[in-house]
Amino acid sequence: MSVTPPFDEMHNADGSIRDPYLILDEWLKEQPPQALSLMRSDAESLFRRLGITFAVYGSNEGTEKLIPFDIIPRIISAKEWRRLSKGIEQRVRALNAFLHDIYHRQEILKAGRVPERLILNNSAFCPEMMGLDPARGVYSHIIGVDIVRVGPDDFYVLEDNLRTPSGVSYMLENREAMLQLAPELFQRLKVAPVETYPETLRRTMESVAPANAPGSPNLVVLTPGIHNSAYFEHSFLADQMGAELCEGQDLFVENGKVYMRTTTGPERVDVIYRRIDDDFLDPLTFRPDSMLGVPGLFDAYRAGNVTLVNAPGTGIADDKAVYTYVPQIIEFYLGEKALLKNVPTYNCTNDEERAYVLEHLEELVVKEVHGSGGYGMLVGPASTRQMREEFRKKILARPDNYIVQPTLALSTCPTFVDRGIAPRHVDLRPYVLVGDDVRITPGGLTRVALKKGSLVVNSSQGGGTKDTWVLED
């Protein structure tokens, strides 16, 4: 455990309340003893009735759980947010420019700023995307950047999530729940709205419709189906945007164009927000055994008759090994210094760094390069000797399969737990939309590790969520 206590977003070191939390603090003090428990059970039955659940990987099929929702909002000041969003915008612009470059002339590889092998030999690189010109040059339209905070002005980007970031429905439903549970708080604080997200998503998708689409393009959300862990989110977004929610079987390709099967026959589809992974998107081009995809979809995309949101092959830019080069990527395309910091990352293929890593496993975090959701991960300070031994062997066997980072002292926020209000570690995933402009929804999904001292915020590992309030000036 770190010696200095982690940064708490509500309290200064001397116990006084930080500015953004003053009104919340007052409000909390006004609440009668049972009020918070009541609010929590109200919130739970609200979420359960609405069917906001997620499926846990590896558990019985059909098992649905609620992600615990913490009723104490996390608050970010307008000034803090401006700073953050500038940094995020810079990052997503640079990463989209990077994607365009590596799928065209590959200048950054020629210039030697990013090792050629790291990109071209990477399984996340999609050669089928070479030379394709997506509408407005945008590859990743929908992004969720994972950010952690370690001090008042100290933010780190953990992951860029340029493929299919999930969780935005929780951001929206958490706000809905807070509006129902504590309307009086919204009267006292000016909280920036997040409810505009579905409309902004719609605008973003419309702005990247193919050139030959009609004035009002037809948008759909493509889901793997009701057994997908994020199905709730897919249907929620489709509903909120007023777009049709389609499965692969609802779409087909004819004469180079994509159609959906309606009660009155085929209807042309122009922009697809697909929540199916690249590999399963089109059995004609990618995995031939995919039952989820639409045969011919990728070719229709290449022929310019439909837009895929996000584009296939964006995974190369959020590959954990490529992540370490993001500061160089920003400099290369924008000529600016990165505004948000990367977490320093040790490269295990380097003998010296590996030696350091193996000696300091109990202080470090080890992640699988292609892992996600907190699986295949070692959190040093919380690990047992046996776990460390296991990872030592894994790293030695496949040093290129792991990245290692120091354990960050994630900031804490007041959280309502069994024994009352206590600090718990949090991270933040703001949602970014890129089309005719870059738009960042003020707020995002705050994930909170509900176990005391835990740094793992993933819902699959016992994490919960909070509503995130960005204050307006």
Partner 1 sequence: MKIAIRHQLSLAVGVGAARAVQHVLLTPLSGPTQTVREWSIDMPGMEGAASFLDGFGNRARLVTQVKPDAELLVTASGVVETTDRNGVLGRLPGEPPPALFRRPTALTKPIGAITSKFRSTPRDGQSRIALLHALMARVGEVLDGGEQSQSQDGASQSQTQAERPPSADFAHAFIGAARALDIPARFVSGYVADADDTPAYDSWAEAWDDGLGWIAFDPTRGVCPTDRHVRVATGLDALSTVPVRSIPAIGSAQVLAMRIEAAQ
Partner 2 sequence: MLGRTAQNLFWLSRYIERAENMARMFEVGYRMSLTSRREGSASEHLISMMQAAEVEEGFSRKHKQADVNAVAHYMIFDEENPSSVRSCLLAARTNARSVRTALTIEMWESINAAWLEFAEIRPRDVTGARLQELLGWIKQVSHTYRGALLSTFLRDAGYAFSQIGNFVERADNTARILDMKYYVLLPRATLVGGDVDIQQWTMILRAASAHRSYRHVYHDRYKAWNIADYLILRPEMPRSLGFCVSWINRTIDMLEEIYGARTAGHDAADAVTELLEGTTVDRIFEYGLHEFLTEFINRNNRMTDALAESYNFY
Residues forming the site for partner 1 (CB under 8 A): 105-106, 109-110, 116-117, 120-121, 125, 127-132, 252-257, 283-285, 288, 295-296, 299-300, 302-305
- Measured distance CA(204)–CA(296) in Å, rounded: 25
Quick one: 130 or 396, whose CB is closer to partner 1?
Answer: 130
When the beta carbons of 92 and 237 are compared against partner 2, the nearer one is 237
Whole-angstrom CA distances from 35 to 22, 31, 183, 437 are 19, 6, 14, 43
Choice between 1 and 226, CB closer to partner 2: 226
Stretch that binds partner 2, among 171-179, 245-253, 349-357, 381-389 (CB under 8 A): 245-253
Q: Which two tokens stand for residue 44?
A: 């739970």
The sign one gets for the Cα dihedral 158, 160, 165, 169 is positive
**Which residues, 6 or more positions from 275, have their beta carbon under 8 angstroms from its beta carbon?**
164, 221, 222, 223, 224, 228, 230, 233, 234
Q: In the numeric block, which tokens belong to residue 164?
A: 């299919």
Output the DSSP codes for 329-374.
HHHHHH-S--SSEEPP-EETTSHHHHHHHHH-GGGEEEEETT--TT
60 binds partner 2 (CB under 8 A): no
Residue 225 contacts partner 2 per CB under 8 A: yes
Cβ atoms of residues 185 and 24 within 8 Å: yes
Minimum CB distance to partner 2 smaller for 58 or for 265? 265
Instruction: Give the three-state DSSP class for 159.
Output: strand
Among residues 224 and 442, whose Cβ is nearest to partner 1? 224
161: alpha, beta or left? (left if phi > 0; alpha if psi -120 to 50): left
- The reply on whether position 199 binds partner 2 by CB under 8 A is no
Q: Work out how close the CB of 69 gets to partner 2 at its nearest, in angstroms, rounded to a whole number.
A: 18
Judge contact between 268 and 259, C-beta under 8 A: yes
426 near 443, Cβ under 8 Å?
no
Q: Which of 247, 277, 299, 368 binds partner 2 (CB under 8 A)?
A: 247
- 29 contributes a contact to partner 2 by CB under 8 A: no
- Minimum CB separation from partner 2 for residue 51, in Å? 5
Q: How far is the CB of 244 from partner 2 (least distance, A)?
A: 6
How many Å apart are CA 74 and CA 80, to the nearest integer?
13
Report if residue 238 touches partner 2, rule: CB under 8 A: yes
Q: Which of partner 2, partner 1, none does 89 bind, CB closer than 5 to 8 A by kind? A: none
Q: How is residue 99 written in tokens?
A: 């994607």
Give the C-alpha separation, 83 to 86, whole Å.
5
- Cβ proximity to partner 2: between 226 and 355 the closer is 226
Report phi then psi at 396, rounded to 5: -65, -35
Q: How far is the CB of 217 from partner 1 (least distance, A)?
A: 18
Q: Which helix (H) or strand (E) holds 118?
A: helix 116-120
Least distance (Å) between residue 287 CB and partner 2 = 23
For residues 250-269, which are near partner 2 according to CB under 8 A? 250, 260-265
* Rounded least distance, CB 456 to partner 1, Å: 35
Select 214 or 265, whichever has its Cβ closest to partner 2. 265
Q: How far is the CB of 314 from partner 1 (least distance, A)?
A: 15
Residues in region 278-317 near partner 2 by CB under 8 A: none
What does 127 bind: partner 1, partner 2, none (CB cut-off 5 to 8 Å by kind)? partner 1
Dist. CA 420–CA 217, nearest whole Å: 51
Closest distance of CB 257 from partner 1, Å: 8
For partner 2, the closer CB: 151 or 225: 225
Binding partner of residue 300 among partner 2, partner 1, none, CB cut-off 5 to 8 Å per kind: partner 1
Supply the minimum distance, in Å, between the C-beta of residue 275 and partner 2. 14
Q: What is the rounded distance in angstroms from the CA atom of residue 193 to the CA atom of residue 178?
A: 12
Q: Can you give the binding site for partner 2, defined by CB under 8 A?
A: 48-51, 225-226, 231, 235-236, 238-239, 244-247, 249-250, 260-265
